[in-house]
Amino acid sequence: MKDGDTQSALATVRDQLQEQSKKYANQFAASGATPEAKVAANTEANKTYAGTVNKLYGYGQQYKNQVKQNYLNGMNALYGQKINSADNSLNSTQSTWGNVAQGIGNAASAYTLADAYGTKTTPTGTETMNVPKWESGVIGQGGFNTGW
C-alpha cells in the first residue's frame, strides 16, 4: 500500500470517518446517547474503513497477478522466439552442410567426367584429340587395350 493513489484513497476515507465520528460525538452528547450506541456507531465506521482497505488490497492483488501474468507471457514469447531462432539456425546449418555435400558431389562428378577423357594422337602424330579414355588406349574396352 505504498502506491500514491492508494494512500490518497485511504487518507480520504480516514478523514471522512473522523469527521463522521466527530459529528456522531456531537449528536450523542446532545441527545444523551448511551455508551453502547457510541460503540455501535464507531464499529460501523471501522467496518467501513476495513471494507475500503480490503477492497484496495484486493485491487492490489489483482494488479500484482496481472503484472505477473504479463511477465510470464512475455517470457514465454521470448522463449518461443529463442526456440524458433535455434530451429532456424539448425535448419540453416543443415542446409549449408547439404549444399557443401552437393558441391562436393558436383566437383567429384565433374572430376570423374574430366578424368574419363584422354587425348589420342593420330598415327601420323600430327593431331591430338580428346576422346573417351577407353578409345585412347588408357582404359581397355572389354578388358583389352585397344590403342590404334
Quickly state the pLDDT bin for 66 (edges 50, 70, 90): very high
- In terms of residue numbers, what domain contains 44? 4-107
With 0.85 as the threshold, say if the pTM is over it. Answer: no
Q: Are residues 148 and 77 in the same domain?
A: no
Task: Report the largest interatomic distance among the alpha carbons of the chain, rounded to a whole angstrom.
Answer: 147
Work out the pLDDT band at 131, boundaries 50, 70, 90: low
pLDDT at 69: 92
Residues 96 and 127 in one domain: no
Q: What is the pLDDT of residues 96-124, one digit of tens each?
A: 777 777 777 766 665 555 555 555 566 67
Kindly tell me if the per-residue pLDDT of 67 is higher than 90.
yes
Contact by Cβ (8 Å): 45, 21: yes
Count of domains for the chain: 2
CA gap 64, 98 in Å, rounded: 50
